[in-house]
Amino acid sequence: MDILLLFMINLDVGGYIDNRPYLGFADPVVFTGFTRGWIDMKADQDLYGANAVLDLMIPYDSALNIRRDEIEIARLAAWVGPYDRRVTLGRQLINWGVSRVFKCLDFFNRLDYFEPAYERPGVDAIQVMWAFSQRGSARALCRPSWTFDNTLMAGRLASSFMRNDVGLNAFYQKEPDLIAAGIDIAGELLAGYWAETAYWQNDTTDYFKSTIGIDYTFPLSIYTMAEYFHDASGQSDPNQYDYGLLLNGTRSTLGRDYLYLSAGIVPNMFLKPAFNVIVNLDDQGTILMPNIFYAPFDNVDLNIGASFVIGDEECEFHNINPYSAAAYAWLKVYF
């Protein structure tokens, strides 16, 4: 009872309302989008804490009727122990890998290269983190299932070597058969750099995935970033793409080689114009994404942008996007 009272006294409640209208240019022009409510409740003590997040999504084309499948408990987890020796149990955010966009070591989150920093769903897991020195740390994770054979086990051992942060990663699941191992590295030498590679083996095949990236800030606060992704399990011929794998969540990409480019001016934290490009190097499909971020107030973000798909009709991006071009003006208000 005393612990429950301490949680209630130190409860921190926050969140945001995110309104995201889209104008899709097709035949005819389509107006769509959604409003999202994100309510975050956290009680964080030195040695223990808990977090619960309610995620409410209301699409514009649903006649504004709130259905059960539009309300989700995005986080519901508790932890014990200090930050450097902590055990977390429940539905929690899992970040794995060092890449910015194409995280080939992230088995827990579906890739969203249109908006890499968007809120990810929680993962029901038990996670243990231990920083055993200033340079070394260990991480173990178990994503349980109804049977032990379907339970996923993962681990990461990290250290610092010659000014590089290096991590060794391993994944195992008996059914369906999955064994994976990989390494990640990140550092800075004139420019920031990161890379990760993973060997995956499942019931039907084995293959490598690799990502390498670099970023640099030029004078006048001009920020640039490039990231290359190679997936040996993808198809180099667009005629061999299986779009059903995207629909059922088995894959996030269908090709083998992708390039993500970003450039922007960051004069301050309140105004950030940028230009992003994603290229499928196998079918030459390209998405151009200009964007302007503006924060008129401390608790208000405004994102104005557009996307344009360039390439042949059989390219991947044309077939996963219902519109050849789209414009948006997103407004997010924090509370």
Is residue 184 domain-shared with residue 275, that is, in the same domain?
yes
Which of 39, 67, 82 is at the close of a domain?
Answer: 82
Predicted local confidence at residue 175, as pLDDT: 86
Predicted local confidence at residue 69, as pLDDT: 52
Count the Cβ atoms, other than its own, within 10 Å of residue 274: 17
Is residue 67 domain-shared with residue 87, that is, in the same domain?
no
Amino acid (1-letter code) at residue 192: G
Predicted local confidence at residue 9, as pLDDT: 57
Predicted local confidence at residue 243, as pLDDT: 93
Contacts of 151-159 with C-beta under 8 Å, sequence gap 24+, read: 152/107, 152/178, 154/96, 154/107, 156/96, 159/135
Which of 50, 82, 114 is at the close of a domain?
Answer: 82
Q: What integer is the mean pLDDT of 120-132?
A: 94
Of 84-98, 107-121, 273-287, which gets the smallest average pLDDT?
A: 107-121
Bridge partners, residue 239, by sequence: none
Is residue 104 domain-shared with residue 126, that is, in the same domain?
yes
Question: Into how many domains does the chain fold?
Answer: 2
Mapping DSSP onto H, E and C, the string for 229-247 reads EEECCCCCCHHHCCCHHHH
Predicted local confidence at residue 248, as pLDDT: 86
Is residue 75 domain-shared with residue 97, that is, in the same domain?
no
- Tens of pLDDT, residues 317-326: 999 888 889 9
Is residue 132 domain-shared with residue 31, that is, in the same domain?
no
224 closest CA partner among 215, 233, 232: 215
SS3 179: strand
Predicted local confidence at residue 71, as pLDDT: 80
The backbone torsions φ and ψ at residue 3, rounded to the nearest 5 degrees and listed phi first, read -65, -40
Structure tokens at 159: 């250290």
SS3 62: helix
Is residue 92 domain-shared with residue 221, that is, in the same domain?
yes
Is residue 215 domain-shared with residue 273, that is, in the same domain?
yes
Higher pLDDT, 285 or 148: 285
Q: Going by C-beta distance under 8 Å and a sequence separation of 6 or more, which residues neighbour residue 246?
A: 252, 254, 320
Which of 26, 50, 82 is at the close of a domain?
Answer: 82
Q: What integer is the mean pLDDT of 39-60?
A: 91
Q: To which residue do tokens 């011929």 refer?
A: 237
Is residue 326 domain-shared with residue 271, that is, in the same domain?
yes
CATH of the domain at 260: 2.40.160.100
pLDDT bracket for residue 8 (50, 70, 90): low
Is residue 62 domain-shared with residue 141, that is, in the same domain?
no
Predicted local confidence at residue 6, as pLDDT: 47
Of 6-15, 79-88, 284-293, which gets the smallest average pLDDT?
A: 6-15
Count the Cβ atoms, other than its own, within 10 Å of residue 64: 9
Is residue 96 domain-shared with residue 166, that is, in the same domain?
yes
Is residue 190 domain-shared with residue 293, that is, in the same domain?
yes
Q: Please tell me the distance from the alpha carbon of residue 70 to that of residue 201, in angstroms, as a whole number.
A: 35
β-strand 191-202 against 300-310: which pairing, if any? unpaired
Predicted local confidence at residue 67, as pLDDT: 47
SS3 308: strand
pLDDT bracket for residue 87 (50, 70, 90): very high
Higher pLDDT, 163 or 211: 211
Is residue 95 domain-shared with residue 66, that is, in the same domain?
no
Q: How many angstroms separate the Cα of 295 from the Cα of each of 33, 39, 213, 323?
A: 21, 21, 28, 28
- Tens of pLDDT, residues 206-241: 999 999 999 999 999 999 999 999 999 999 999 999
- Per the structure, the complete domain to which residue 60 belongs is given by 1-82
Residue 5 has pLDDT above 60, yes or no: no
pLDDT bracket for residue 271 (50, 70, 90): very high
102-114 in b/e form (b: 16+ CB < 10 A) is bbbbbbbbebebe
Predicted local confidence at residue 26, as pLDDT: 80
